[in-house]
Structure 1
Amino acid sequence: MFKTRMRILPSFFTLNFFLLCLSSFLFFSSFNMIIPELPSYLSSLGGAEYKGLIISLFTLSAGLSRPFSGKLADKIGRIPVMIFGASVCFIAGLLYPILSFVGGFLFLRFLHGFSTGFTPTGISAYVADIIPFQKRGEAMGIQSLFSSLGMAAGPAIGGWVATIWPIEFLFYSSAFTSILSILIVIRLKETLPNKEPLTLGLFKLKKDEIIEKRVILPSIVLFLCVFSFGTILTIIPDFSTHLGIENKGLFFAVFTISSLGIRLLAGRTSDRFGRVPVLRVASLLMVFAMITIAFATQQKTLMISGVLFGSAVGMYSPTVAAWVIDLSRDQFRGRALATMYIALEAGIGVGAIVSGSLFSNRAENFQLVFLTAAAFASLSFLILMFSKKEGKLISLH
């Protein structure tokens, strides 16, 4: 019986890989825990007109920090980069109740973004170091599964906590969760050979150290897909209230849970049939999801769209990451993954800004917001249709 169960687990599912996944779960739970309550919290501070900045400031700082996190991950190691990002989550969680005014809140959203600018880069690079080439899609699917569990548990638990205790308790819970992720990471063995000591010189970036050109195509595809994610993060809390849904984290839980199983299938399928075919299906699902949300008039329809949206996210997240690792050189793996995450943060940030601007706190604009996101996802599908199975653009000459 024991041997049978062991055969079910992938060969790469070692203790280190499991601990990394657990730390990833806690990290993503920590900063997603507060998201559903932030729009109403900002409104209570008198900053309702700045709702679009809740996500965009977060993603802006994450994007700005990516080139540094990529370089540092390739120089000083994966683990220090992960620890730094989680430490920022801890500090921000403690400061939200203290800087309880609009300017202070917006500053903390910018500061908080440095967490996702560092930790996910270190996590992805660590996974790539310990996983064989032919299993990358499956491994990224499992790792992103734990991240998604965190993204599901965070908003759901946060929404529940906010209904029982004051908002300050929610922020402290977020900080405590990030500390737990750090305690796990420090037990891992560093995978980067020939580490360099941390010096000020490492923070000086050359032009060719900012973007890894080899992974521009998958990064563009990711940007267009996650525009919808920025829209969801910014608008769904208000849209849920508009439809009479009390728990504003419910949609987040539904779409994240729906993405769990498909991540494993998508990663394994992309290992076998290629990254591009899987991403074509994912982008189409994203289009249908955003159109369904645009015409949703009741909770049931919104939850169905959440399943479609989660399926799309579950397919493209591990597949794009595996595609980027495929195209990158070993010595610049951190930079390649940082480039991917720059596109991720840019897409979410632009999606948040555009959707917030289009919405303008007017219910009649909901449909326009979600249809705009559907248009961006359609562009990603068109690009993928002109891409070969192995991820190269088809020449039109």
Structure 2
Amino acid sequence: MVGQGLNSGTSVFLARMGNTAAFAGALAAVFSASAAVARIACGPLVDRAGRLRVMVAGAVLLLVGTLLPALSSNDIVFVVCRVVQGVGFSAATTASATAAADVLPRSRLGEGIGYYGLGQALAMSVGPALALLLVNTDPAANLYLGLAGMAALCVVLTAFCRYERNPSRLPATAAYRRLFEERERRAADRKNRRSASGAADAEPTTEERGLQRVFEPSALPGALPMLVLSPAFGFGIFFAGLYGTTLGVGNPGLFYTLSALSMIAVRLKSKSFMDRVAPIKVFTASTACGLAGFALLLAAGASEIAYYAAGILYGACLGVSMPLNQSVAVKNTPPERWGAANALYLLASDIGIGIGSAVWGVVNDAAGFPVTICCVMGCILASWVVAWFSYPKPARPHNQP
């Protein structure tokens, strides 16, 4: 919520302070670039230094980068703070995504990541609404004070992520516990061999090279569909409220409220399908909801009800597709590389939302909202095509040809 609130609230704050839209756009690019570069380092760092250390460091950086703009309105301070915010956001989210996957029983990995993904999805809906509420108070710097308070809460909550110190408390099939037990077994075997031979045996290692050191290619089946789908979510975050205001909708913020409620409802029902139904079938239903939701937005000019109903379908699409693609990325990757896998997945989401939002602004200025919404629907359809080819195919029973 802090990250999404900063993205949506900073431009409004700068406008109230008399800055230009171009400066606000440049700061958005600084945040996106910083977050993307930080993903490169955070993936392997999470796998080597541990989830807790990276999560705490990211939360502290996010707190510092959020608090400083409330104390100084200098342009250089804003630029530096956007860099710090981007790095902190990337570190905290990469580590927390990996931690969520670590502690889940294997048979319920998809369902569990779905609950984790609910936090991401709700943040994309609630964060912007909260930021707009804060920035429109007096003084506008309450935006950063309020979000800094949430960042401080994040720092406190990270202190409870201590499973790395006691993996035996995790479910027997949890990936981190099994990885820990495997390392313990290998260490005991090496010790026995040294005792028997009187010499140390070198443990064979596989050294990743190039991009494989920072990203896990096995996560691409989940990351690629998300890359293509994320621009649709970028439209929802940055333009759905503006579109409702342009249409004269009485309460545009209700779009986000209804989408959040829809996400919660979908996640509560996830147990019945997330780990039991083929991913492509779940994704098909998700993208169908997205297409229907944006089709309703096209018809919203004649009916406010269509605008609000679009929020419900948008929430269903967002609430299913994000955790689904993340679970595909993680399940397709060795547990010892989950940090790099989550870094690649989240980078795909960041790039899709960032680039998509910039493109939608240009398209909207040139051709209007109806054309932009049609382009968004094209992205949703294209993401389904990418998923069809990239998702792992379900294994067939041996008695079938």
TM over 0.5: yes
Residue 159 in structure 1 maps to residue 162 in structure 2: no
Larger radius of gyration: 2
1:207 shift after superposition: 2.9
Q: Which residue type is aligned with residue 285 of structure 2?
A: V
Q: Which residue type is aligned with residue 216 of structure 1?
A: L
1:327 shift after superposition: 0.5
In the superposition, relative to structure 1, how do residues 125 and 69 fare at CA in structure 2: closer, same or farther (>3 Å)? same
1:102 shift after superposition: 5.8
Residue 42 in structure 1 maps to residue 45 in structure 2: no
1:391 shift after superposition: 6.7
- 1:354 alignment partner in structure 2: 359
Deviations 1:195-238 (A, max 9, x none): xxxxxxxxx98432132111212211011111111222232343
Deviating more after overlay: 156-165 vs 280-289? 156-165
- 2:188 alignment partner in structure 1: none
- The CA distance in 1 between the partners of 2:313 and 2:338, in whole Å, is 32
Aligned match for 1:306, one of 311, 330, 342: 311
Q: Which residue type is aligned with residue 294 of structure 2?
A: M
1:250 shift after superposition: 3.7
Aligned match for 1:319, one of 324, 341, 364: 324
* Pairs within 5 Å for 1:62-73: 62-73=35-46
- 1:200 alignment partner in structure 2: none
Aligned match for 1:60, one of 20, 33, 47: 33
In the superposition, relative to structure 1, how do residues 381 and 150 fare at CA in structure 2: closer, same or farther (>3 Å)? closer
Deviating more after overlay: 174-183 vs 160-169? 160-169
- 1:81 alignment partner in structure 2: 54
1:255 shift after superposition: 1.7
In the superposition, relative to structure 1, how do residues 161 and 252 fare at CA in structure 2: closer, same or farther (>3 Å)? same
- The CA distance in 2 between the partners of 1:158 and 1:79, in whole Å, is 28
In the superposition, relative to structure 1, how do residues 178 and 163 fare at CA in structure 2: closer, same or farther (>3 Å)? same
Contact residue 266 and residue 278 of structure 1 kept, 8 A? no
- The CA distance in 1 between the partners of 2:315 and 2:390, in whole Å, is 24
- 1:343 alignment partner in structure 2: 348
- 2:200 alignment partner in structure 1: none
Aligned match for 2:375, one of 346, 349, 372: 372
Unaligned runs of 5+ in 2: 165-175, 184-207, 396-401
Percent of aligned pairs with the same amino acid: 21
* Pairs within 5 Å for 1:151-190: 151-190=124-163
Q: Which residue type is aligned with residue 95 of structure 1?
A: L
* Pairs within 5 Å for 1:89-238: 89-100=62-73, 104-105=77-78, 107-191=80-164, 206-238=210-242
Aligned length: 354
Unaligned runs of 5+ in 1: 1-28, 195-203, 393-397
In the superposition, relative to structure 1, how do residues 46 and 299 fare at CA in structure 2: closer, same or farther (>3 Å)? farther
1:163 shift after superposition: 4.2
Secondary structure, counterpart of 2:70 in structure 1:
coil
Contact residue 46 and residue 102 of structure 1 kept, 8 A? no
Q: Which residue type is aligned with residue 332 of structure 2?
A: L
TM-score by length of 1: 0.79
Aligned match for 2:284, one of 255, 280, 284: 280
1:300 shift after superposition: 3.0
1:129 shift after superposition: 1.4
In the superposition, relative to structure 1, how do residues 316 and 352 fare at CA in structure 2: closer, same or farther (>3 Å)? same
In the superposition, relative to structure 1, how do residues 52 and 209 fare at CA in structure 2: closer, same or farther (>3 Å)? same
Q: Which residue type is aligned with residue 388 of structure 2?
A: M
1:73 shift after superposition: 0.7
Aligned match for 2:385, one of 375, 382, 385: 382
- The CA distance in 2 between the partners of 1:212 and 1:188, in whole Å, is 24
Contact residue 34 and residue 83 of structure 2 kept, 8 A? yes
Secondary structure, counterpart of 2:239 in structure 1:
helix
1:33 shift after superposition: 3.5
Q: Which residue type is aligned with residue 220 of structure 1?
A: L
In the superposition, relative to structure 1, how do residues 190 and 108 fare at CA in structure 2: closer, same or farther (>3 Å)? same
Contact residue 92 and residue 108 of structure 1 kept, 8 A? yes
Deviations 1:108-166 (A, max 9, x none): 43432223311121112112211111101111122223444444443343333344432
Q: Which residue type is aligned with residue 371 of structure 2?
A: L
Contact residue 270 and residue 319 of structure 1 kept, 8 A? yes
Secondary structure, counterpart of 1:97 in structure 2:
helix
Deviating more after overlay: 88-97 vs 271-280? 88-97
In the superposition, relative to structure 1, how do residues 64 and 264 fare at CA in structure 2: closer, same or farther (>3 Å)? farther
